[in-house]
Amino acid sequence: MKPKVVVAEEISDAGIAALLEFCEVDLAVGVDRSDLLRRLSNARGLLVRSATRVDAEMIAAAPNLDVIGRAGIGVDNIDLDAATAAGVLVVNAPHANVISAAEHTMALILAQARRIPEADASLRGGEWNRAQLGGVEIHGKVLGVLGLGKIGTLVSERAKAFGMKVVAYDPFVSDDRARRMGVDLIDFEEVLTTADFLTIHLPRNRHTEGMLDAEAFKKMKTSARVINVARGGIVVEDDLAAALRSGEIGGAAIDVYATEPMTSSPLFDAPSIVMTPHLGASTVEAQDKAGIAVAESIAATLRGELVLTGVNLDLGPNVPPELSEFLPVAVQLGRVFVGLANGVPRDFTVIAEGAISEFSVKPLALAALKGALSFVTDRPVTYVNALSIAAQHGIAVREMAQASTDAYQSSIRITGTVDGVDRVVAGTATAHKGPVLTEVDGYFIEVRLGGNTLIVRNDDTPGVIGRLGGYLGENDVNISDMVVGRSGDEAAMMGVRVDSRITEEQLAGIEKLDGILAVRYFEFD
């Protein structure tokens, strides 16, 4: 059966189509909360926009939930702590609306500078107030940008095309990057005192909430204009209204509000303000992009893939493509390690070897842990909750990097001690086989980590391979690949991939064959 995804708010038809390729879609747009909770009881995915409050109660009502998708950027309406504790990945569409938001910012700057809404209302009211509705040019003015993320960067580029000088405050941006952008990086206080137009492109959090308050407005030029297309709550609306009425600042253009929907506000009666109802992402293009992006992320999560843009997924530095292709290898190696050792070691060590050692090992360690823990808990193990489950089982995860490697350009090695025995498995990714198991406890083999696979330790004597092949043939089990490796002692190891599932009875029969010392069977995804 296809995994069920509940869609609680409207998204584009393109987004629904992207979901339907892999999922069963339950359209629950406009239903009341109790009905939504009922629909979530057997859902594996939930898709929302900004209006649905996804709290701990809602997450608890969905015991099979794997992923929550937000068709947009902000996740203020989702309880991230509750989602993380439940092992639920939260994904969004962080890049879908960046162009639309940047363009809306420029539209508000121009509308504020040229008094366009006021002029439109005046003319519609039968007045020709050309002399009274003069504006200002933005050419030559200083644009202060709070936050040089993707949207802040796009706004800066567009403002410079209008001939504005751009200064910015962003403690996470280097001077070198700002210099390459042609932006002067200065501190927050200096932005306030310098800017003719001040535009906000920051997330709302404990550091930014209320950032622009009465004290901030007092430091600004009396001719300065404030523009907010980011998040409500960063600007204190009562203080902004007071500053506009007193003439402390020259104007404002606001698209987002502390409480939405917002139909009553002290800003309504304030002079020199342009207001729009959260239209930053309200373009056909942005809605299509957001719907498709979040649908694809939900489907990928439900297929067991690692969605690197997960909001509550801490992978450290960005995961480059060179490392991403090794994540499936790490997951399968984790499964092999525990399956062969019959347990998870207290110290679970993941080593990145060769070329991949220059990147963060954390994503590989998390992927290996996800694979390993699937044997030791009935809870669904995800990239989100793997570390917390490991901690609950007293498992410490160690990450190591080693530049040298013997046979492969890059490889992953997992080591640990189980029941007093030191164990090791290693693997790599190859162009012709994909994820490959390359070593088990000193035995060197190269068998693909996929499908139905037997790992067999056997006497290194004539006839053992034939007996195994004969037994499988008698049971109508076809061998698709077989690799034999030695370790220097009197035993050998076989990696055998077969075309059909091995039953418990057949596995017991293999164990009884003369010369077979141990056998483990894996069904890989």
Identify the H or E element spanning 239: helix 237-246
HSE of 365, CA atoms in CB hemisphere, 13 A: 24
User: How many CB atoms neighbour CB 412 within 10 A?
Assistant: 30
- Residue 322's pLDDT band (boundaries 50, 70, 90)? confident
Segment 135-159, tens digit of pLDDT: 999 999 999 999 999 999 999 999 9
Query: 44: which 2 tokens?
Result: 């594996």
Average of per-residue pLDDT across 392-418:
90
Q: Kindly report the pTM of this predicted structure.
A: 0.65
> Measuring CA to CA, which residue among 262, 255, 260 is closest to residue 230?
255
Radius of gyration, CA atoms only, the chain: 30
The arithmetic mean of pLDDT across residues 193-206, rounded, is 94
Give the range among 212-221, 379-388, 430-439 with minimum mean pLDDT: 379-388
| Shared domain check, 396 and 435 | yes
Task: Quote the percentage of the chain above a pLDDT of 70.
Answer: 99
Q: Average pLDDT for residues 466-488, to the nearest whole number?
A: 92
Say if CB 285 and CB 100 are below 8 A apart: yes
* Cα 225 to Cα 252: distance, rounded to the nearest angstrom: 5
Which pLDDT does position 84 carry in this prediction?
87
Say whether the peptide bond before residue 261 is cis (omega within 30 degrees of 0).
yes
What pLDDT score does 376 carry? Answer: 77
pLDDT band at 492 (very low <50, low <70, confident <90, very high): very high
Q: Is residue 281 part of a domain?
A: no
Give the whole-angstrom CA distance, residue 284 versus residue 81: 32
Query: Is 309 inside any structural domain?
Result: no
Look up residue 78 and give its DSSP letter. B
Residue 166 has pLDDT above 70, yes or no: yes
Domain that holds residue 12: 4-94+286-302
Same domain, 184 and 41: no
- Give me the pLDDT at residue 236, please: 97
Length of the chain: 525
Q: What CATH code is carried by the domain that includes residue 216? A: 3.40.50.720
How much is the average pLDDT of 509-513? 95
Q: Which pLDDT belongs to residue 298? A: 94
Secondary structure of 298-343 in HEC code, one letter for each residue:
HHHHHCCCCCCCCCCCCCCCCCCHHHHCCHHHHHHHHHHHHHHHCC
The pLDDT confidence band at residue 267, using thresholds 50, 70 and 90, is very high
Q: Of 105-119, 317-331, 358-372, which range is least confident?
A: 317-331
Among 104-118, 306-320, 389-403, the range scoring the smallest mean pLDDT is 306-320
pLDDT tens, position by position, 235-262: 999 999 999 999 999 999 999 999 988 9
pLDDT tens-place string over residues 170-182 = 998 998 999 999 9
301/193: higher pLDDT:
193
**Once rounded to an integer, what is the mean pLDDT over residues 199-211?**
93
Both 461 and 508 in one domain: the answer is yes
Same domain (yes/no): 298, 371: no
Question: Do 225 and 374 fall within a single domain?
Answer: no
How far are the Cα atoms of 273, 337, 425 from residue 330, in angstroms, in the given order?
Answer: 55, 10, 10
Provide the mean pLDDT of the chain: 92
User: Within this chain, do residues 342 and 478 fall inside the same structural domain, yes or no?
Assistant: yes
Q: Which two tokens stand for residue 279?
A: 């239209």
What pLDDT does residue 321 have?
Answer: 78
Give the sign of the dihedral formed by CA 501, CA 504, CA 510, CA 516: positive
161 inside domain: yes
Residue 460 belongs to a domain: yes
> Is the domain of 327 the same as that of 248?
no
Local confidence band at 440 (pLDDT 50, 70, 90 cut-offs)? very high
pLDDT in tens, 273-302: 999 999 998 898 998 898 999 999 999 888
- With a cut of 70, say whether residue 474 has pLDDT above it: yes
Longest CA pairwise span in the chain (Å): 103
In a domain, 316, yes or no: no
Report whether pLDDT(318) > 70.
no
Tokens of 154: 């796009």
Residues 363 and 487 occupy one common structural domain:
yes
Residues 514 and 367 in one domain: yes
HSE, CB side, 13 Å, CA atoms: give it for residue 518.
11
Q: Which residue has the higher pLDDT, 141 or 434?
A: 141
Of the candidates 456, 457, 464, which has an alpha carbon nearest to the alpha carbon of residue 502?
Answer: 456
Separation of alpha carbons 101 and 154, rounded Å: 9
Same domain, 204 and 339: no
Return the pLDDT at 317: 56
| Domain contains 314 | no
Same domain, 211 and 340: no
Tally the domains of the chain. 3
61-84 pLDDT, tens digit per residue, is 999 999 999 998 888 899 999 998
Q: How confident is the model at residue 303 (pLDDT cuts 50, 70, 90)?
A: confident
Predicted pLDDT of residue 316 = 60
At 421, which CATH number?
A: 3.30.1330.90
Is the residue at 307 inside a domain?
no
Catalytic residues: 231, 260, 278
Residues 134 and 154 in one domain: yes
Q: DSSP states of 107-160 as a string?
A: HHHHHHHHTHHHHHHHHHTT---TGGG-----TTPEEEEE--SHHHHHHHHHHH
Q: With respect to residue 311, please indicate whether it lies within any of the assigned structural domains.
A: no
